[in-house]
């Protein structure tokens, strides 16, 4: 049974005829374009006319791609930034350690040079920690009696005197720094040869020359070295530099402040000079000598009395 449209409506060509017609037109256009190249201009005109529509149609896709790339880039940059920060921290630690090692290497080289300049034997030591007493200026070294360290031996760095060994243990030793309030060292002015004693003030960076007359030949900038008269410190070791001299006619003594030349609180490695005191023993005090003389005289008088008592007895026996 065939179905046909109602006769009230006009009908054109059939659908089959339309398909055949448009197919033939398409084939003719294909053959003409491929053989004769006659549709190139038409294609360019149509493409140009349709390009704005194409751009508008592709806007959503481009926007989606742009947003995705933005978030991907932000995530990648954050990850890269995090890795770079970690590398920076690691490199900073390595750089600081290398700088510290370079500084220690330089100091050790200078200490080796100081060892060559000092005639006495020396042992290299490392600072372990500061003393627990906050009111003293003392440090503890990693060398003791097992290494030849003894009380009274001087401790120096590559620039000058740092302090003196005050207590010794088998594997460690305690050093009292020059700036300790109970420490004193005989010194001599290089320029004038004037001798004095430098005392610590209890804090780093200052020494005090006491009991110097106001007319003493000393001025700011003078260098002080060990005099060697105490038998502990070898002569000629750098100690301090005079920084301030105050002379007042109303005072009996001048006020002289000095700055230690050695790195009192900066160095990590120090040299302990294994010196031995070769000075003769100190003479006895005068009162002790007088007492001894009196005792000898009394003993001589007693012996003389005994001899005198024995002589009459011998005479009577005869």
- Condensed to tens digits (0 to 9), the pLDDT of residues 15-35 reads 788 888 889 888 887 887 777
Q: Outline where DSSP puts E strands in the chain.
A: 122-130, 138-141, 154-156, 161-168, 173-177, 184-189, 195-200, 207-213, 223-226, 238-246, 253-260, 269-273
Contact at 8 Å (CB) between 177 and 162?
yes
**Mean of the pLDDT values across residues 209-222?**
89
Structure-block tokens of residue 98: 């290398």
Residues 84 and 189 in one domain: no
- Nearest-CA neighbor of 257 among 269, 271, 246, 273? 246
117, 146, 174 - which closes a domain: 117
Task: Give domain status of residue 312, yes or no.
Answer: no
Residues 150 and 90 in one domain: no
Residues 144 and 239 in one domain: yes
Q: How confident is the model at residue 287 (pLDDT cuts 50, 70, 90)?
A: low
Burial degree of 201 (CB within 10 A; 0-12, 13-18, 19+) = middle
Task: Give domain status of residue 245, yes or no.
Answer: yes
**Mean of the pLDDT values across residues 115-144?**
82
Q: How confident is the model at residue 184 (pLDDT cuts 50, 70, 90)?
A: very high
Give me the numbers of helices (H) and strands (E) for the chain, helices first please: 3, 12
Residues 83 and 150 in one domain: no
Task: Give domain status of residue 105, yes or no.
Answer: yes
117, 150, 165 - which closes a domain: 117
Residues 132 and 251 in one domain: yes
Q: Please name the residue that has the structure tokens 């001025």.
A: 219
Residues 223 and 99 in one domain: no
Between residues 144 and 41, the one the model is more confident about? 144
Residues 257 and 208 in one domain: yes
74, 91, 117 - which closes a domain: 117
131: domain CATH number is: 2.40.10.340
- Whether the predicted pLDDT of 3 surpasses 80: no
Task: Give domain status of residue 99, yes or no.
Answer: yes
Residues 94 and 172 in one domain: no
C-alpha to C-alpha distance for 244 and 198, rounded to whole angstroms: 14
Residues 3 and 113 in one domain: yes
- Whether the predicted pLDDT of 192 surpasses 60: yes
- Condensed to tens digits (0 to 9), the pLDDT of residues 83-95 reads 888 777 777 666 6
Residues 255 and 155 in one domain: yes
Task: Give domain status of residue 306, yes or no.
Answer: no
Structure-block tokens of residue 213: 């007359």
Task: Give domain status of residue 287, yes or no.
Answer: no
Task: Give domain status of residue 210, yes or no.
Answer: yes
Task: Give domain status of residue 79, yes or no.
Answer: yes
C-alpha to C-alpha distance for 164 and 234, rounded to whole angstroms: 12
- Whether the predicted pLDDT of 153 surpasses 60: yes
Residues 156 and 64 in one domain: no
- Whether the predicted pLDDT of 225 surpasses 70: yes
Domain that holds residue 259: 122-273
Residues 249 and 199 in one domain: yes
**Mean of the pLDDT values across residues 256-262?**
91
Domain count, the chain: 2
């Amino acid at each position: 049974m065939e179905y046909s449209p109602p006769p009230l409506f006009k009908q054109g060509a059939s659908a089959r005829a339309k398909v055949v017609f448009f197919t033939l037109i398409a084939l003719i256009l294909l053959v003409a374009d491929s053989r004769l190249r006659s549709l190139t201009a038409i294609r360019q005109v149509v493409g140009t006319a349709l390009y704005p529509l194409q751009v508008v149609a592709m806007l959503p896709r481009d926007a989606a791609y742009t947003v995705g790339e933005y978030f991907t880039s932000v995530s990648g940059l954050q990850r890269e930034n995090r890795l770079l920060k970690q590398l920076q921290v690691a490199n900073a630690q390595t750089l600081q350690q290398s700088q510290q090692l370079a500084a220690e290497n330089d100091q050790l080289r200078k200490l080796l040079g100081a060892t060559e300049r000092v005639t006495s034997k020396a042992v290299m030591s490392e600072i372990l920690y500061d003393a627990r007493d906050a009111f003293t200026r003392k440090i503890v070294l990693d060398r003791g009696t097992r290494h030849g360290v003894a009380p009274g031996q001087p401790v120096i760095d590559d620039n000058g005197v740092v302090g003196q060994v005050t207590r010794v243990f088998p594997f460690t030793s305690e050093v009292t720094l020059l700036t300790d309030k109970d420490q004193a060292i005989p010194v001599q002015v290089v320029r004038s040869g004037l001798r004095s004693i430098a005392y610590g003030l209890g804090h780093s960076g200052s020494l005090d020359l006491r009991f110097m007359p106001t007319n003493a030949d000393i001025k700011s900038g003078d260098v002080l070295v060990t005099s060697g008269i105490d038998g502990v410190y070898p002569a000629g070791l750098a100690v301090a530099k005079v920084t301030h001299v105050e002379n007042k006619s109303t005072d009996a003594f001048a006020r002289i402040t000095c700055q230690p030349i050695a790195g009192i609180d900066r160095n990590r490695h120090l040299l302990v000079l294994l010196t031995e005191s070769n000075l003769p023993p100190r003479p006895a005090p005068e009162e002790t000598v007088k007492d001894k003389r009196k005792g000898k005289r009394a003993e001589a008088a007693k012996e003389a009395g005994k001899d005198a008592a024995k002589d009459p007895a011998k005479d009577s026996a005869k």
